[in-house]
Amino acid sequence: CNHCVMETLFWLCLQFVWMAINIFLFVYFYFFYDLGPQFFYTRHLLGSALPWARAPAAVLNFNCMLILLPVCRNLLSLLRGSFVRCSRTMRKQLDKNLTFHKLVAYMIALMTAVHTIAHLFNLERYNNSRQGLDDELSTALSDLADTENTTYLNPVRITNLIPTYFAFTTIAGLTGVVITLALILIITSSMEVIRRSYFEVFWYTHHLFIIFFAGLVFHGAGRIVRSQQRTNPPHNTTFCKDHPDDWGQIPECPIPQFAGGFPQTWMYVIGPMVIYLCERLVRFIRYMQRVQYKKIVMRPSKVLELQLIKNGFKMEVGQYVFVNCPAISQLEWHPFTMTSAPEEDFFSVHIRSAGDWTDKLIEIMKKVPEGGVDWLGVDGPFGTASEDVFDYEVSMLIGAGIGVTPFASILKSIWYKFKDSDPKLRTRKIYFYWLCRETHAFEWFADLLQVLEKEMEERGMGDFLTYKLYLTGWDQSHATHVMVHFDKDTDVVTGLKQKTHYGRPIWDKEFEQVRKENPTSIVGTFLCGPEALGKVLEKKCAKYSDVDPRKTRFYFNKENF
C-alpha cells in the first residue's frame, strides 16, 4: 500500500542518511591519517593501525552526539506537538526513537571495538620501538626527548612497558578502560531477557552513561596520537627519513617536533549533554510537584488502580507517565499508560503485578488511605502513537493483557464525547480486540465496556463499537464447559452481550471483515502488545490495504516504551 511504502521509505531514508554520514566520516578520517604528510613519522611507527584507530574515533564522536537525543522525552513531545499539522509519516518517525537509539548504540559498540583493538596494536608498536626492536628510524623517533627544543613522538617513555601499567597511568588509557567497561555493562544489561526479568539491573547499569560521557570528554586530553609540526627551516621527511643520525646537524634536517591533536569529543557531546541536563531538570521539577490520591483501588488479577490529581496536569488519550516511588527507590522511574480520559478531573494508571518494584508499590499503596500524603513522583505526560486515534474515520484497537490501558483512555474519552455530543468527533467506527490468557484480566475492564455498550444502545449507535475478547490461555476442556451457556443473553465470563472467544484471533478474517464493512475508509490500526504480534499486524495492514487510495487503507501504529 502507498502509505506503508511511504513510511518505510521515509524510515529507510533516515537510516540511509545516518549510515552515509558514518561512512563518510570513517573514510574521510581514514585517508586523512593514512595519507596526511603530518602523520608520516607517526605512520612509520604505527603502520595501518593509526588510521584504523582514528577513523572509528570520528564515527564515535558523531554517534555519541546522537545517542542521548532519542531518549529526551520532553524534546520528543515538543517535536510531536510541532508536527501536529504535518503528515502522519513525519510524526510516526518519532515513535521509532528507541529503535534509532539502539542503532546508534550498536554503532558505538562496533566502533569502540575497532578503536580499542587498533590502539592495542599501536601500543605494541610503540613499545617495540621504544625497546629498539624496529628499524633505525623508529628507534630515532622513539628516542626524541621532550626537551626545550623538541617534542616527543612516542608516548611510551620507559622500556619493557607492561600494557596494564600504561592503561592505568595515562589519561587516555585510564579513561579508555573506564569507558569500555561502562559500555560493556550498559549493552549487556540492555538485552531483552535482562530488561524484562531484571529491570532494576538494566535501570541502574544504564545510568553508567554518566561515567561513560565523563570519561569520553577527558579521553582525548592525553593527546596520545601526535603529528609533526612545522619548523623553521622545515624538516623534509622525504630526505630526512633516511638520515636520522643527521637530525639537528644539517640545515635540511632540523629535529622534528610533534604535538598531540586538540581534544574534539567535548565539542560533539556538549550540546546533547546540555539538552539532556535540561531534560533532567524538567523531570526534577515535575517530581517535586505534589501528587494527591483521589482513589486507590485494588482490582482483580493483582491490578492496582491509582486515581491521581496534580496541579496543571493536562493529558491526551493514549499518553503515558513515568512513576517514581521514593519509598522503593529514588532513582527508578517506570512507564505506565494512563487509563483515564482527558475529560476527567483526575488521571489514572493501572499497574499489574509484574516484578519486585510493582509488588512493593502495591503493598505500599494498600496502606495509604484516600487523600494520603505518601510521596509519589509523576513525570509526564508523554505522547504516543495512540494520540492520533481520532484522526481516523475507523480505528482498530488491539491490546494484549495489560496492554489494554491506552485503549481504556480512548474508550472513556469516546464515551464522554458521545455524552457531550462533541461535533468534532471524526471517528465513526471502532473495532476493539483484547487478548488475555486468563479470565481475571477481564474483570477490571468489563465494567467500562458494559457502560459503553449500554450508552451506545440507548443512543441507537450499537454498531459504533464492535469489540471482541479473546481468552488465549484456555484449553478445549475449559471452552467446552463454557459453551453450555453460550446461548445466554450475556457472556458467562464478562457479563457482556458480546461473547468471549477462545484461542487467538484469525487476523486474516478480521481484516477482511473490516475492509468489507469500510470499503472507502482510512483505518488506523493501533497495538499495545508484544513485538511478535506487531510484526503480524503490520504485515496484515500492508496485505489488506488497497492500492487505490479511494478504497480501504490500513495504517499501523504501535506503542513503544
Is residue 184 one of the residues assigned to a domain? Answer: no
Examine the fold and report which residue of 162, 192, 219 is the final residue of a domain before the chain moves on: 162
DSSP type of residue 459? T
Looking at residue 187, its pLDDT comes to: 93
Cα separation, 349 vs 317, in Å, equals 12
Q: What is the dihedral of CA 487, 488, 491, 495, to 10 degrees?
A: 170
Report the domain count for the chain.
3
Residues 6+ apart with CB under 8 A from 561: 98, 320, 335
Q: Are residues 424 and 554 in the same domain?
A: yes
Q: Which residue, 506, 537, 509, is CA-closest to 399? A: 537
Burial, 542: exposed, middle or buried (Cβ in 10 Å; 0-12, 13-18, 19+)?
middle
Contact of 560 with 98, CB cutoff 8 Å: yes
Give, for all 561 residues of the chain, the pLDDT tens digit: 555 566 677 788 889 999 999 999 999 999 999 999 999 999 999 999 999 999 999 999 999 999 999 998 888 888 876 655 555 666 677 778 888 999 999 999 999 999 999 999 998 888 888 887 778 898 888 888 766 556 888 888 777 767 778 778 888 889 999 999 999 999 999 888 888 778 778 888 999 999 999 999 999 888 888 899 888 888 889 889 888 888 888 888 888 888 888 888 889 999 999 999 999 999 888 888 888 888 888 876 678 888 899 888 888 888 889 998 888 888 788 888 888 888 888 898 888 887 788 888 888 887 776 545 567 889 888 877 777 788 888 888 888 877 777 778 888 887 787 776 666 777 888 888 888 776 665 666 666 677 666 766 776 666 777 888 888 766 555 555 555 455 555 554 555 556 677 778 889 998 998 888 888 888 888 888 888 888 888 888 888 887 777 788 888 888 765
Q: Are residues 57 and 138 in the same domain?
A: yes
Q: Are residues 474 and 372 in the same domain?
A: no
Q: In what order do the strands lie in the sheet with 292-299?
A: 292-299, 303-309, 347-352
Is residue 524 one of the residues assigned to a domain? Answer: yes
Q: Are residues 48 and 19 in the same domain?
A: yes
Q: Are residues 390 and 356 in the same domain?
A: no
Looking at residue 363, its pLDDT comes to: 86
Contact of 172 with 220, CB cutoff 8 Å: yes
User: pTM score, two decimals?
Assistant: 0.79
Cell numbers at 560, concatenated: 513503544
Examine the fold and report which residue of 350, 382, 414 is the final residue of a domain before the chain moves on: 382
Is residue 415 one of the residues assigned to a domain? Answer: yes
Question: Helix (H, G, I), strand (E, B), or coil: what is residue 546?
Answer: coil
DSSP per residue, 317-384: TT-EEEEE-TTT-SS--EEEEB-S-TTSSSEEEEEE--SHHHHHHHHHHHTPPTT-----EEEEEE--
Which CATH number belongs to the domain containing residue 330 in this structure? Answer: 2.40.30.10
Looking at residue 115, its pLDDT comes to: 95
- Which residue type does 299 have? R
Is residue 276 one of the residues assigned to a domain? Answer: no
Q: Are residues 426 and 447 in the same domain?
A: yes
Cα separation, 145 vs 425, in Å, equals 79
Looking at residue 64, its pLDDT comes to: 95
Looking at residue 86, its pLDDT comes to: 53
Q: Are residues 446 and 482 in the same domain?
A: yes
- List the domain range (segments joined by +) for residue 55: 2-162
Q: Are residues 348 and 490 in the same domain?
A: no
Q: Are residues 342 and 431 in the same domain?
A: no
Looking at residue 107, its pLDDT comes to: 96
> With b meaning 16 or more CB within 10 Å and e meaning fewer, what string describes 176-207?
bebbbebbebbbebeeeeeeeeebeebbebbe
Which CATH number belongs to the domain containing residue 497 in this structure? Answer: 3.40.50.80
Is residue 269 one of the residues assigned to a domain? Answer: no
Q: Are residues 372 and 496 in the same domain?
A: no
Helices 2-35, 97-130: crossing angle, 10 deg rounding = 10
Q: Are residues 342 and 395 in the same domain?
A: no
Examine the fold and report which residue of 116, 134, 162 is the final residue of a domain before the chain moves on: 162
Is residue 66 one of the residues assigned to a domain? Answer: yes
Burial, 272: exposed, middle or buried (Cβ in 10 Å; 0-12, 13-18, 19+)?
middle
Contact of 522 with 490, CB cutoff 8 Å: no
Cα separation, 161 vs 147, in Å, equals 22
Q: Are residues 398 and 542 in the same domain?
A: yes
Is residue 228 one of the residues assigned to a domain? Answer: no
DSSP type of residue 39? G
Instruction: Give me the sign of the Cα torsion angle 423, 425, 429, 432.
Output: negative
Cα separation, 8 vs 89, in Å, equals 9
Is residue 182 one of the residues assigned to a domain? Answer: no
